[in-house]
Amino acid sequence: MQEKPEKQKSPSIFKVVFSVIAAAFGVQSSKNSERDFTTGNLLVFIAVGLILTIMFIMTIIGIVSLVLGA
């Protein structure tokens, strides 16, 4: 039986961003997913997800505006 450390360090912001991107594409590894659920803060993941979604939408709007010449 494997013992878990009493206090695990929460993931850095870069790990959170990469986890959210990987989860959005559906390629999140089970190891990283388990790490996120056990040590991560839900509000941080939600905030990063919302920010990345808004950035994605703004990028799409920008590309469409550029292509259409508007």
Question: Would you say residue 4 lies in a domain?
Answer: no
pLDDT, residue 10, reads 82
Question: Would you say residue 63 lies in a domain?
Answer: yes
Question: Would you say residue 28 lies in a domain?
Answer: yes
pLDDT, residue 1, reads 52
Express each pLDDT in 10-38 by its tens digit: 888 898 899 999 988 888 888 888 888 88
Question: Which tokens sit at 46?
Answer: 């939600």
Question: Is 40:11 a contact under the CB 8 Å cutoff?
Answer: yes
What is the total count of domains within the chain?
Answer: 1
Question: Which tokens sit at 12?
Answer: 């850095």
Which range of residues forms the domain containing residue 48?
13-68
Question: Would you say residue 52 lies in a domain?
Answer: yes
Question: Would you say residue 60 lies in a domain?
Answer: yes
Question: Would you say residue 19 lies in a domain?
Answer: yes
Question: Would you say residue 25 lies in a domain?
Answer: yes
State how far the alpha carbon of 52 is from the alpha carbons of 6, 15, 22, 65, 68, in Å. Answer: 32, 14, 12, 20, 24
Express each pLDDT in 36-70 by its tens digit: 888 888 899 999 999 999 999 999 999 999 999 86
